[in-house]
Amino acid sequence: MAGWRQAVEVAMTDEDVARLMAISRSRTEPASRVERAQMLLAYREKPSFFAVGQRLGVHHQTVQRCIERALAYGPLMALDDRPRPGKEPTITPEAKAWLVSLACRKAKELGYPHELWTTRLLARHAREHGAAGHECLANLVQGTVCKILGQEEIKPHKVRYYLERRDAEFEQKMAEVLCVYREVQMLKKAAAKAKKKAKKPGKPVTIVSYDEKPGIQAIATTAPDLPPVPGTYATFARDYEYKRHGTLSLLAGIDLLTGKVHALVKERHRSREFIEFLKLLDAAYPASTAIKLLLDNHSAHISRETQAWLAAQPAGRFEFTFTPKHGSWLNLIEGFFSKFARSVLRHIRVASKQELKERIMAGIEDVNRYPVIHTWSYKLAEAA
């Protein structure tokens, strides 16, 4: 007749007990670890496999195995599964390294019409060309390729774009732009102080952030839009088909001191259109006002035609500050264009280019009715 099982004592330090208590109450630990911690704590109170099993709703042999692991490896080590032998990996580390190095090359370099790899194409190439040195890849499938690349955190089917800085004078030009924004800040403070003390301001200066927004499409609907119907259709409904009427360019500059937007809508944005915009600014400000423009390096801004027109103007009337190459984000007008596109131009449909022009100018008038004074703060403290 088999004898009674003898109760065994599991040695636990106060630190072990505190750790087991925390794990047994955890909501983030794996369920198996939580259950085993509860077993050990319950057995510590009442050393009986049957009693602990009935209390926790598990078989007494499960409790016994947990206690035996705790005796052999310690209470905290008993919470985890023991490593199992499992099946030997069929794909060698050398074959995995070869596959990963292959994934780091472009598919077109190996004669494929594809620019980048797909996992299916990579698996096929490995089966056809890797068997010579790595026989284990002879039956490689797409899913295994995904697992291997996932372990190495390689995604050869994706492209992450970056912008290489090609302007050697980027920092210097950025500093010049920041100095313009610093000047705007100083002019605002000076104007507020002069207004408060009722003093006559100094030499009038205005600073305009300018750019073009080309390619605004004049698109017409081929069927009327259907309005929303409460409880039935939540949105406007629009026919997929449309008709193109061409594109227009918006030439705009925002006065950084007042928030007023000066704008022209033209078919193109060549030197003659840019000069027309300069004439618009010239007419908008008194002759004694110095007009400083912040703009990019578009060819129309530095063309011989533009330079000839500027040379004919009074000295000091116009002054240009150019943003560095690939530095259009330094120009505040870009933020205005983004907001204008998301509000006025979003989902716009017109019957003609003339209607589009009228809608754009109406949008500019609406903006000028409630002008917003834009400010720049990024790295402004670093400006000299």
Pick from 120, 122, 90: which is nearest to 106 by CA?
122
Give CA–CA dist 24/37, Å, rounded: 5
Per-residue pLDDT, averaged over 359-375, amounts to 93
Q: Is the pLDDT of residue 231 over 80?
A: yes
Give CA–CA dist 218/160, Å, rounded: 32
Question: How far, CA to CA in Å, does 90 sit from each of 125, 133, 143, 150, 259?
Answer: 18, 14, 15, 18, 68
Q: Is the pLDDT of residue 179 over 70?
A: yes
Segment 100-113, tens digit of pLDDT? 999 999 999 999 99
Q: Would you say 208 and 255 are in contact if contact means Cβ atoms under 8 Å apart?
A: yes
Q: What 8-state DSSP symbol labels residue 76? A: T
Q: Is the pLDDT of residue 228 over 50?
A: yes
Q: pLDDT class for 202, splitting at 50, 70, 90?
A: low
> pLDDT value at position 1?
39
The residue among 259 and 87 whose pLDDT is bigger is 259
Q: Is the pLDDT of residue 132 over 90?
A: no
The residue among 199 and 17 whose pLDDT is bigger is 17
Q: What 8-state DSSP symbol labels residue 305? A: H
Q: Is the pLDDT of residue 294 over 70?
A: yes
Give CA–CA dist 333/339, Å, rounded: 10
Q: Is the pLDDT of residue 79 over 70?
A: yes
